[in-house]
Amino acid sequence: MIKFSDLNLDPKVLKAIIDTGYETPTPIQAGAIPPALEGRDVLGIAQTGTGKTASFTLPMITLLGRGRARARMPRSLVLAPTRELAAQVAENFDAYAKYTKLTKALLIGGTSFKEQDQLIDKGVDVLIATPGRLIDHFERGKLILSDVKIMVVDEADRMLDMGFIPDIERIFQMTPFTRQTLFFSATMAPEIERITNTFLSNPAKVEVARAATTGENIKQGVVMFEASSKARGEDEKRDLLIRLIDAEGDACSNAIIFCNRKSDVDVVAKALKKNGKNAEAIHGDLEQSHRTRTLDGFRDGSIRFLVASDVAARGLDIPAVTHVLNFDVPSHAEDYVHRIGRTGRAGRTGTAIMICSTRDEKNLADVERLVQNPIPRLDNPLSRATPPTTTSPVDDVDASREDRPRRSRTRGPRKAVPDVDTGADATAPVDVAAPVAEPVVAVIDMAPVMAEVAAPQPDAIVPDRQPRDAQQRDGGSRSDRPARGPDRTAERSSPERRERDTTPHRGRDHQRGGHDNVIGMGADTPEFIAKSFAERSTS
Ligand code: AMP
Tell me the average confidence (pLDDT) per consecutive run of 10 residues in the chain, 539 residues long: 92 95 90 96 86 95 84 91 92 96 92 88 94 94 92 92 92 96 89 94 84 62 90 91 93 94 93 96 84 89 92 71 94 82 76 94 90 86 50 27 28 28 25 30 49 35 30 37 35 39 32 33 40 40
The answer to the question of residue 112 being in a domain is yes
pLDDT at 346: 63
Ligand 1: lining residues by beta carbon, under 6 Å = 22, 25-26, 29, 48-54, 317, 527
Same domain for 148 and 242, yes or no, is: no
Do residues 103 and 153 share a domain?
yes
Are 182 and 308 contained in the same domain? no
Q: What is the four-CA torsion angle of 316, 340, 165, 64, rounded to 10 degrees?
A: 30
**Mutation probe of ligand 1 site: the residue of 53, 78, 92, 152 with most atoms within 8 A of C-beta:** 53
- Looking at the 3D structure of the chain, how many domains does it have? 3
Task: Clarify whether residues 223 and 195 are in a common domain.
Answer: no
Residues 78, 56 within the same domain: yes
Residues 374 and 258 in one domain: yes
Q: DSSP labels for 442-487?
A: EE---HHHHHHHHS--GGG-----SPPPGGGGGGS-SSSS------
24 and 131 in a single domain? The answer is: yes
| One domain, residues 166 and 194 | yes
* CA-closest residue to ligand 1 atom 21: 22
Q: Are residues 60 and 171 part of one domain? A: yes
Confirm whether 336 is domain-assigned: yes
Domain boundary among 207, 230, 251: 207
CB 262 within 8 A of CB 281: no
Distance (Å) from CA 83 to ligand 1 centroid: 19
429-448 in b/e form (b: 16+ CB < 10 A) is ebeeebebbbbbbbbbbbbe
Residue 537 has a pLDDT of 41
Residue 467 lies in a domain: no
Tell me if 318 is assigned to some domain.
yes
Atom of ligand 1 nearest to the CA of 92: 12
For residue 34, being part of any structural domain is answered with yes
302 belongs to a structural domain: yes
Q: Do residues 57 and 193 both lie within one domain?
A: yes
Are 228 and 355 contained in the same domain? yes
Q: Read off the CATH number of the domain in which 39 is found.
A: 3.40.50.300
The interaxial angle of helices 447-454 and 361-371, nearest 10 deg, is 100
Does any domain span residue 237?
yes
Supply the residue whose CA is at minimum distance from atom 1 of ligand 1.
51
Centroid of ligand 1 to alpha carbon of 367 (angstroms): 29
H/E segment holding residue 491 = helix 488-493
What is the residue range of 521's domain? 505-539
Are 90 and 193 part of one and the same domain?
yes
Q: How far apart are CA 12 and CA 309, in angstroms?
A: 39
Whole-number pLDDT of residue 444: 53
Say what the pTM is. 0.55
376 occurs within a structural domain = yes
Considering 207, 233, 248, which residue would you say is the last residue of a domain? 207
